[in-house]
Amino acid sequence: MALIDQATKRLAESQLSQTERVPLIGDLLGLQLAYNPGAVLSLGSESTWALTVLGLLATVALVVAALRTRSLGWATVIGIIGGGAVGNLLDRLFHAPAFGRGEVTDFIAYGSLFIGNIADVALAIGVGLGLLGLLRSSPNARPHRTEKTGDT
């Protein structure tokens, strides 16, 4: 996932503009190059180094979780989230303006809401699948069985 993310970001940098949007589905979805020093919706843009540290810690935690899981489903969820986290972490580590303070390359424009990338899509899918997995495994999510007592 991280390799696909990095490849699409380099392609976006070579083919897209920061000033012009290429419409894919009218105004709803398009392609436009952007650089984000912050997290989602540019939150924390003044603390890029802190986001890098959080990304490193999250990646380590995901590796530990992946090594401990015995479930193929959870391993898949962890892998998808990990791939997204590593994709954006690589930008933070090695992209301009400086090591550990790099801006994340974005290029998928969601209307006028925000611009993201493949790593962001992977993170959203992974978190969504994880939440579904938690709901499915919750005892409250299972239907209750009633025993027949013979009284009808």
- List, by residue number, the catalytic residues: 106, 120
pLDDT of residue 92 exceeding 50, the answer is yes
pLDDT tens track for 12-69: 999 999 999 999 999 999 999 999 998 876 778 888 899 999 999 999 999 999 999 9
pTM of the model: 0.85
- What are the structure tokens assigned to 121, written together? 């899509």
- Alpha carbon distances (Å) from 111 to 11, 30, 105, 108: 21, 7, 17, 9
Domain ranges of the chain: 2-138
| CA-based nearest residue to 109, from 41, 5, 31, 43 | 31
| CA-based nearest residue to 132, from 77, 63, 65, 78 | 77
pLDDT tens track for 113-131: 999 999 999 999 999 999 9
